[in-house]
Each structure stands twice: as structure tokens, then as C-alpha cells.
Amino acid sequence: MQQLQILVLHGPNLNLLGVREPSIYGGLSLDNINAALKTRATELHSFLECQQLNSEGAIVEAIHTALNQKDGILINAGAYTHTSIAIRDALSGVNLPVVEVHLSNIYKRESFRHHSYVAPVAIGQISGFGVDSYRLGLEALVNYLKHQKEPSQ
């Protein structure tokens, strides 16, 4: 079976993980998270390309580049989750399966974080489990893709 190609997008300020508000986001760095994700992806016969981008336009470009190159997208759009119609439209436009993840439970935080522009175009959303949100999101996306690619019985 051919390896699934997954794009992992980390949005603004996620490069500060391990330093930024560890009581909310945990103590692991983004490099630690990416390494753990890549290990899990290998076990799942998948290949990950991980990118952290602080600019909305750069995130949109990365999503566009995924068209015809990736099988799915795992995204933590950070604060853009709650503000970016452009990212939502890019995800919708490439029509790839998307799983949205967040380290914190966005519904237990400030009310402005309760709305996601990404969720309506995602196959699912996982939040509130810290680093495990990423692992669970990856596993869910890979499982979805593997079942989607199986021939009908």
C-alpha cells in the first residue's frame, strides 16, 4: 500500500510552544510535537510534511500547494481558526479531507474562541487533549483516508 501524504499546518504563535502559556498549551516544543507526529505517522504508513506559518497568506498558499500532492490536511490554525474566512475558503477549495485540532479546549476559553471557520469544512475537530489532540487527529485522518480509499464491497 502506498504511503498516505499528510500536510500538518501549525498556525500563528505555535512556534512558541513550550514557552507561551504552558499552563494552557503544555511544555512541549513544536519540534517535540512534530517528532512525535512523524513517529506515529511512520507506524501508520504515512508521510508527514509539517509547516508552521504565522501569516494568513502563507497558510492559504500552503493549502493551495497541497492540491494534487497531499491526501489530507491536519490543521491547527491557531487564532486564525476564529477569524479567517480565507483559510476556510482555501480548505474548501482544495477539497481535501481536513481534521482540525487544538491543544486547549477552545469551548472552555474566551467566547470569541468558540466559533471556528475551519470546522464546517473539516471532517472532524479534536480539542482539549493537549499534544494528544494532534495524535488523535492524525489517527482519525489516516483512518478516514484508508477507509475512503478502500474499494467498495
Active site members: 25, 102
Phi-psi region of 5 (alpha: psi -120 to 50; beta: other; left: phi over 0): beta
Distance, in Å, from the CA atom of 92 to the CA atom of 95, rounded to the nearest integer, reads 5
Q: What is the DSSP letter of 3?
A: P
| C-alpha cell recorded at residue 72 | 489530507
Q: What is the DSSP letter of 2?
A: P
135 within 8 A of 37, measured Cβ to Cβ: yes
CA torsion angle 99 55 86 142 (round to 10):
-20
| C-alpha cell recorded at residue 136 | 488523535
